[in-house]
A and B are shown apart, each in its own frame.
Chain A
Amino acid sequence: GENVEQHPSTLSVQEGDSAVIKCTYSDSASNYFPWYKQELGKRPQLIIDIRSNVGEKKDQRIAVTLNKTAKHFSLHITETQPEDSAVYFCAALLEPETGNQFYFGTGTSLTVIP
């Protein structure tokens, strides 16, 4: 199966600064890497994703980079705002014949200090 590791587990930044969260994966067959944001008491929701044929993707203040050779991918949030405070999960998707299997990291609790 797949093993996804995520660092750091907690991250505090001043409002306006950047935040970076890093993940590594073990199975080179993984080909899709989404990031989910989970606010306190709410469901995880997709914020950005990247597929294995792309090295970088950006959506306004958030971006994701992927290094397939090294098997790691990162989430970058610029100009952080208090509403960015949440737990962020990375994930890797394996597509065995039996269907989609998403494997998640342990999560990063991000606090943006006003």
Chain B
Amino acid sequence: ETGVTQTPRHLVMGMTNKKSLKCEQHLGHNAMYWYKQSAKKPLELMFVYNFKEQTENNSVPSRFSPECPNSSHLFLHLHTLQPEDSALYLCASSQADHRGELFFGEGSRLTVL
């Protein structure tokens, strides 16, 4: 596979569940991102990893926990979410050392009941 792939594409979970979103990129990039996309809001940057190191956490609640085991994989662990966390979660990657294109995955549509 090429590009950025995200699984699962759709996820429904209760507020007490624990689940994880997975992202994998096959582009040789060294920066990976999680964005949250809600209706009528800008894409919200959640986390940035450069060379596997987390370099940004935009005041994201602790019920969202990222993990980047290597430069090709990124996870978003979800625990005790709220209904307002329902959104499309987009993973993206880019080259960290120069201004370049963000490549997005198809997204994981999360619904919290």
Contact = CB atoms under 8 A, between A and B. Distances in A.
Contacts of B106: 42-43
Contacts of A34: 101-102
A31 B100 CA distance: 11
Contacts of B68: none
Interface in A64-114: 89, 91, 93, 95, 98-107
Nearest to B102: A102
Given A44-B104, A46-B101, A105 B42 contact: yes
Contacts, number: 65
Interface stretch (B13-21, B48-56, B70-78): B48-56
A99 B56 contact: yes
Contacts of B94: 100
Interface residues on A, range: 20 to 34
Contacts of B100: 100
Nearest to A42: B106
B43 A89 contact: yes
A98 B56 CA distance: 8
A14 interface: no
Interface in A2-20: 4, 6, 9
A43 B104 contact: yes
B102 A9 contact: no
Nearest to A107: B42
A98 B55 contact: yes
Interface in B19-74: 31, 33, 35, 40-43, 45, 48, 50, 55-56
Contacts of B4: 43
Nearest to A41: B106
B43 A100 contact: no
Interface of B: 4, 31, 33, 35, 40-43, 45, 48, 50, 55-56, 90, 94, 96, 99-102, 104-107
Minimum-distance CB pairs A-B, first 7:
A99-B50, A98-B55, A104-B43, A32-B99, A43-B104, A99-B55, A104-B42
Interface of A: 4, 6, 9, 31-32, 34, 36, 42-46, 49, 51, 89, 91, 93, 95, 98-107
